[in-house]
Structure 1
Amino acid sequence: MKSQIGEKRKNELADETTVVLKIRLHCDGCIQNIRKLILKIKGVDSVNIEAAKELVAVTGTMDVKELAPN
């Protein structure tokens, strides 16, 4: 039983992805709204925003297609 749990956790870690998005960030309000919206997406573990470079790094097991607008 214990090995099955460990194996499942290994598979989850293998599927973890980091995606870096270039998003125009106008102000602190925009940054907080973007962070809140991204964190609602299933599978997102963390959101790291670099406002000066206008980069948003998203880490998790999410469907990457959900992050990009249509």
Structure 2
Amino acid sequence: MVILDGQVVEIKVNLHCDECIRKILKAIKKIEDIETYDVDTQLNKVTVTGNVTDEQVIKVLQKVRKTAVRWDQANQTLFAN
């Protein structure tokens, strides 16, 4: 797979509380080659831009015990509240 600089990765992840957001931000900041990141608590969406793949971001989020799927697959996956 060829990865382009500035690739945008959008992930659906449950964001229940400030502690969840803190864990997610801490994990995302450790990813190499990211340029920007954003956490949208209203949409439960994490957006990462850089030399990364969706698989890399999902794997990092799963390490902090968060259920994560690609944004374009979010409608196919049920999330428990």
TM-score by length of 1: 0.69
Q: In the TM superposition, what are the counterparts of 1:47-58 in structure 2 within 5 Å?
A: 47-58=37-48
The RMSD of aligned alpha carbons is: 1.7
Letter of the 1:26 partner, please give it.
Answer: H
Task: State the SS of the aligned residue for 1:67.
Answer: helix
CA contact (8 A) 2:9 2:53 kept: no
Greater Rg, structure 1 or structure 2?
1
Gaps of 5+ in 1: 1-13
How many pairs were matched up? 57
Gaps of 5+ in 2: 63-81
What stretches of structure 1 move > 3 A for 4+ residues in a row? none
Percent identity over the alignment?
A: 32
| Structure with the larger helix share | 1
